[in-house]
Structure 1
Amino acid sequence: MKRRIRSIFWLMTICILGINAFQGYWLFTTYQLNRQQFRRTVQDAMWQAVQQQRLTDARVLLGHAPPTKGIHSKLFIRRFEEAGESERVFISQELDTLPARFQVLRDSSRRVVVSYRKQPSTRNAPNVPADSLAKRISNLLLLDWAKDAGVDLRTFAATYRSELTQRGIDADFRLDTLTIRPKRARDNVFIFKDLTAVSEKTDLCTTPIPINPVKNLFVQASFTTPTFYLLRRMGWLLGSSVLLLALTTGCFLFMLSTILRQKKLSDVKNDFINNMTHELKTPLATVTAAVEALQHFGALNDPQKTQTYLTVSRDNLQRLSDLVEKVLNLAVEEKKELVLNPEWIRPSELVNQIIGNHQVKADKPVHFEVDIQPGEEPVRIDRFHTTNAINNLIDNAIKYSKESVTIRITSGKQERVWRLSVQDNGIGIPKSYHQAIFDRFFRVPTGNLHPVKGFGLGLSYVRQVIEKHGGLIDVISEPGVGSEFVLLIPETGGDGQARVRKFSFPLFRTPSPA
């Protein structure tokens, strides 16, 4: 049974770990995909923001450009790759006033496209080719870039924020401008201007995009906390995954607890059957031996022997009847509630009567130490059940002790609560079993040996009686030292109205003897 439970435990553990690992890998992969998508989106937004900035500059130039007849400008720039090639362009162009209305558009390439539309006029306007018009606008932009290398980052940040919002991104960012001067070496030298250099701790940066190609001025956006932003956007996914993992792990733990509980019940059942078998076998064997003696050894011819054998048979049959009655009563008590018949009883009278009975029938030396005041105020309890409960405690103290036993009984009242303590110097109980000993059929494990007969019902009955009186019971025990059972019962506990609260547990402390 233990091997099977161990196999089930390891199998379930491997399954849970596998599910958790798979779920973690899936979440990590999803996060990486979202991070890549985030990087592509912010990069595209940066490119579109730069294009928007160029279009805005073009509109400004077209609306405010003065006549430039006679003005010549020769520039050298390095254009980005187009169609797999990079080329150098020399511009030497005379700029004239643009007499027509223009609409500035964007195409799919990295160029500014100007759509030309003639206005109806009575005068004959010269036809200006679109390519020539685009070249003029490009010249205006190039001249503007050549004159001014600065960038209005506040305006550009608003444009970039607008592009991000259109794509559903509201993460915080920082803009930096930098000059990248191409060199013959494979790596470029980064020279940061206008703003502080991008921190090495930045989680994510966009690729630098030229905002002024003439001055080699680039713009870059950095996102310092994209991880937190991405996790926040994955909130429902993370929440559902954590909930699923918690439910799965909880079910595993509940199932494991159920299996262990069932195993414990199975062990208790087997222990009860073994104890019951031993308890029933002893009187049956004794009666059988007495009957055989009467039948085969001529005991019938001796009246004295006959009487002795009959007395032994009667006593053992009575013992057998008591055992059966005890089990039947247990089954009945499980189905119906315990009924109390309360009456006012002085503790000293009750305890002295119980001690007298045990001194007569004890089969080993028993020494009682009683600390009860004769004039102690009475308590309202059920005499029958309370007597049986105290008898069970004293029986256990005698059975689970060595050759001789000393039992100390103390009684007293405090805060309208009757406190009774039964203390012995027996074998003691391990702390791990202090709560389990009050369960039905439970006995402290001793392997397959049963030196002391019993069913594990006595302490369960004691707790049932005490709790029916509205009281509490606790045990203080240590192996090799002894045990002390403390009962707390309200002064009028038999009426079923008063209750001892759990905060009264300091009353369990045994006062030191005077």
Structure 2
Amino acid sequence: MKKRLSFLLFIAALTAGGIILFQCYWVYNTYKAGEQNLNRLLLNALQKSVENYHVQQSDLPATLKLPSPYLSVLETSPVDTDKTLKVVFGDIKHTPSIAKIEQVPVNPENLQRVKAMLAATQFMSATLMNNTQLNTLKAIFKNELGRNNIELPFNLVLLKPEQKLPHNKIAAYINYAKNSPIVEAVFSNKGQMLLVQNIVPAVISLILIMLSAGSLCYMWIIIRRQMRLDDIKNDFISNITHELRTPISILKSTNEALSRYGGIGEPEKAERYLKINTVILDKLDHNVDRILDITRYESGDKLARPIEVNINEIIYAGIEKFTLDGKNNIEFLNPSAIKEVLTDSYMIDTIISNLVDNAIKYGGENVKVTITINSFEKGWELTITDDGPGIDQKYLPFIFDKFYRVPSGNLHEVKGYGLGLSYVKQLVASLNGIISVKSMPNSGTTFTIKFPER
């Protein structure tokens, strides 16, 4: 069973790990793709700003500003040499040609591109920009970024002429000369903008990662709980086998003595054997009733019946059951002088009896048990303390579980089914109380139960 659960856990961990790695990889790729798109957008904006700067600084034909823009183009065509006279001056030959001016309309959609091409012909020198020109380009670039809904602080830096533009930088040539200077746009908060743009997929991925990790952790808890329940089941079967074997052996022996060895003919002996059988059967009946009571309280079939009772009388009656032989040391303290409380007397007696019985069984003959009741603002408190061997911290979260017993190997020095504390917790819950425990190995155990006033 444990090997199978461990294998399932390994498969689940492998699957969850793969999902987490994939989500991290997807988030990284999304971020890099967003970075590339932003760089491409910024580069296009810078190149367009340089073109617009050229257009603003150049003298373009006035015809491009008309409602129907056009360009005047000088078109020349050679004259047919068979029909014209060739003029020869030494080695220089001149072929006559015909020239004419035509008006070429410009499509408004291509107007900006035409302006940029014409402006480019006027910026063929490799001269550097001065500060005024650079500020003008900066203003144009800022407007271009605004048109693309980009608001990032930036600065323009002039670089030395290079054959190629710097890699992974937002840079463009200033003009069309062979050794043109380069202008670079340096942004200060580009990473922050990328994070804002990718925040939604990043958050979704983070949620998926957390869900995957949480599911894996929850699965691990369930598997551990299942393994623990399996151990409890095996321990319970082992315990109940040992606990039932003793009364069965006693009943079998007394029955055999009565039937085979003439015990039925001796009234005194028969009566003694029958009393022994009655005690054994009463104990078995009590344990069966306790199991049934736990089920009834859990399902709500059996409810508490609180009435005004004298709590001192209930506690003294409970102590008396354990001190008849004078062996057990049990002390009762009532510093708040509480007398009447609203509770179910049967449940309180059962709670005290179970906790005191556990303290005596596990603490030995010399254990000291102290029962204390105190009042507080919203109710009253019952505390049962012993100076026994105590319980290891790692077992405390499970001691109220049904059928759970603190592991002790295959030894069963103390008889029981692992029902006592589970039964106590169910009774406390039925009375709307809260039970807690503090214990350390070799330092004793303290159970504290708080009950509401009403």
User: TM-score interval w.r.t. the shorter chain?
Assistant: 0.7 to 0.9
- Structure 2 counterpart SS, 1:476: strand
1:141 aligns with 2:97: no
- After TM superposition, give the deviation of residue 392 of structure 1 in Å: 1.0
- After TM superposition, give the deviation of residue 288 of structure 1 in Å: 0.8
- Separation of aligned partners in 2, 1:392 and 1:483: 14
- Separation of aligned partners in 1, 2:262 and 2:12: 68
Q: Which runs of 5+ in 1 are unaligned?
A: 64-100, 105-113, 119-125, 191-202, 499-514
| More divergent stretch after superposition (393-402 vs 457-466) | 457-466
- After TM superposition, give the deviation of residue 324 of structure 1 in Å: 2.5
Q: Is the 8 A contact 2:73 2:101 kept in 1?
A: no
Aligned CA distance change for structure 1 residues 374 and 54 (closer, same or farther; 3 Å): closer
Aligned CA distance change for structure 1 residues 167 and 4 (closer, same or farther; 3 Å): same
1:116 aligns with 2:77: no
Q: 1:477 aligns with which of 439, 442, 445?
A: 439
Q: Is the 8 A contact 1:102 1:117 kept in 2?
A: no
Q: 1:411 aligns with which of 351, 373, 377?
A: 373
- After TM superposition, give the deviation of residue 209 of structure 1 in Å: 1.0
Aligned CA distance change for structure 1 residues 43 and 140 (closer, same or farther; 3 Å): closer
Once the two structures are superposed, residues 239-282 of structure 1 have per-residue CA deviations (whole angstroms, 9 ceiling, x without a partner) of 22222222222222222222223333333333333333333222
1:35 aligns with 2:35: yes
Aligned residue in 1 for 2:186: 222
- Structure 1 counterpart SS, 2:171: coil
Correspondences of 1:40-189 after superposition (within 5 Å): 40-58=40-58, 61-62=59-60, 101-103=62-64, 115-116=71-72, 127=100, 141=122, 151-165=132-146, 169-180=150-161
- Separation of aligned partners in 2, 1:139 and 1:288: 116
Superposition RMSD in Å: 3.7
Aligned residue in 1 for 2:450: 488
Once the two structures are superposed, residues 11-57 of structure 1 have per-residue CA deviations (whole angstroms, 9 ceiling, x without a partner) of 22222222222222233233333333333332233222222222222
Q: Is the 8 A contact 1:345 1:378 kept in 2?
A: yes
Aligned residue in 1 for 2:350: 388
Once the two structures are superposed, residues 68-100 of structure 1 have per-residue CA deviations (whole angstroms, 9 ceiling, x without a partner) of xxxxxxxxxxxxxxxxxxxxxxxxxxxxxxxxx
1:424 aligns with 2:424: no
With normalisation by structure 1, the TM-score equals 0.70
- After TM superposition, give the deviation of residue 458 of structure 1 in Å: 2.1
Aligned residue in 2 for 1:320: 284
Amino acid at match of 2:16: I
Correspondences of 1:429-448 after superposition (within 5 Å): 429-448=391-410
Q: Is the 8 A contact 1:412 1:418 kept in 2?
A: yes
Q: 1:346 aligns with which of 302, 310, 321?
A: 310
Amino acid at match of 1:7: F
- Structure 1 counterpart SS, 2:390: coil
- Structure 2 counterpart SS, 1:450: coil
- Separation of aligned partners in 2, 1:410 and 1:236: 58
- Separation of aligned partners in 2, 1:350 and 1:442: 28
Q: Is the 8 A contact 2:125 2:176 kept in 1?
A: no
- Separation of aligned partners in 2, 1:262 and 1:13: 17
Q: Is the 8 A contact 1:268 1:441 kept in 2?
A: yes
Aligned CA distance change for structure 1 residues 388 and 151 (closer, same or farther; 3 Å): same
Amino acid at match of 2:248: L
Q: Which runs of 5+ in 2 are unaligned?
A: 75-98, 104-114
Identity %: 30
- Separation of aligned partners in 2, 1:486 and 1:284: 37
Q: Size of the alignment, in residue pairs?
A: 415
Once the two structures are superposed, residues 168-214 of structure 1 have per-residue CA deviations (whole angstroms, 9 ceiling, x without a partner) of 6444332123443x7xxx999x9xxxxxxxxxxxx963234124849
- Structure 2 counterpart SS, 1:473: strand
Q: Is the 8 A contact 1:149 1:215 kept in 2?
A: no
- Structure 1 counterpart SS, 2:308: strand
Aligned CA distance change for structure 1 residues 115 and 145 (closer, same or farther; 3 Å): farther
1:238 aligns with 2:202: yes
- Separation of aligned partners in 2, 1:329 and 1:138: 98
- Structure 2 counterpart SS, 1:434: helix
Aligned CA distance change for structure 1 residues 461 and 166 (closer, same or farther; 3 Å): same
Amino acid at match of 2:290: K
